[in-house]
Amino acid sequence: IHARSIGPYSLVTQQPLAGKAQFGGQRFGEMEVWALEAYGAAHTLQEILTVKSDDVNGRSRVYEAIVKGQNLPEPGTPESFNVLVKELQALGIHVTMDANAEGGYSGLPFSAGEE
């Protein structure tokens, strides 16, 4: 059995490295995500896919909240989403995220062409 509490992260995606030899983490695949969705563990799934994966700012905010004994903050945008946005921008597709009054996002309007 291999487990890790801390370890190296990929420079591009900021996700934990894979493999025991690189002191990497276990992959949480698509079928595991489906299993947690079916079980109704939405908060656990959100934590696994953001702050325990590639939400760089969320990792430090969660650590600070735990040390200070505060409630955990809302997770931010995963770094893998930022990589996807950069790849779409390289293809000439402009992507914007508009925050709504509740602090969430109202949608992702996509437009191709000039800004």
pLDDT in tens, 31-86: 888 898 898 888 888 887 777 777 778 888 888 998 999 998 888 888 888 888 88
For the chain, give the mean pLDDT: 75
Residue 65 and residue 81 in one domain: no
Residue 67 and residue 86 in one domain: no
Task: Name the domain count of the chain.
Answer: 2
Residue 85 and residue 64 in one domain: no
The model scores a pTM over 0.95: no
Residue 72 and residue 106 in one domain: no
Helix (H, G, I), strand (E, B) or coil at 111: strand
Residue 114 and residue 85 in one domain: yes
Residue 62 and residue 9 in one domain: yes
Task: Tell whether the model's pLDDT for residue 106 goes beyond 60.
Answer: no
Q: What is the pLDDT of residue 68?
A: 94
Q: How far is CA 44 from CA 35, 41, 51, 65, 68, in A?
A: 12, 5, 11, 17, 21
Residue 65: give the domain boundaries: 1-76
